[in-house]
Amino acid sequence: MDAVIHLTSDAEADRRHALRCATVLRDNDALDLADVALLLHRDGVRLATPASPEYDWLVELLGSGVTVTLGTTCLDAREIPHDAVPAGVELVPSGVSELVSRQAAGAHYVKIP
């Protein structure tokens, strides 16, 4: 079973909520999740930049096995260079297409906000 957390906001409360959800799901052995994915979309992509106050938390989650994915179309629309995101972040052409693909594969969906 997989879970995907879909963050579309750059609001502090939303960023923190998405990271807390990823942390809780990663640590919940009772759910037997094969993959916890944080999909950053729209303004949510800003979480994956060094300017984000939660950048270190995101990097820690990456190092602990949480998948972080974002669409290059959202980076490009916000003029964020692709190399500004940390190593380990999976760049895909379209975040929304990735979301549909993960849901089609049976991932459980958490939307923030």
Amino acid 89: pLDDT: 97
Q: Which residue bears the tokens 């809780």?
A: 24
Per-residue pLDDT of 99-108, as tens digits, reads 999 999 999 9
Question: In this prediction, what percent of the chain has a pLDDT beyond 70?
Answer: 100
Give the amino acid at 92.
V
Domains and CATH numbers, the chain: 2-112 (3.40.1260.10)
Amino acid 85: pLDDT: 96
Long-range Cβ pairs for the range 81-89 (8 Å, 24+)? 84/48, 84/49, 84/50, 85/48, 85/49, 86/48, 86/55, 86/58, 86/59, 86/62, 88/62, 88/63, 89/48, 89/62
Average pLDDT over residues 38-62: 97
Task: Tell me how many degrees the CA angle 90-92-96 measures, rounded to the nearest 5.
Answer: 115
CA distance 50 to 34: 28
> How high is the mean pLDDT of the chain?
97
CA distance 27 to 33: 10
Amino acid 109: pLDDT: 97
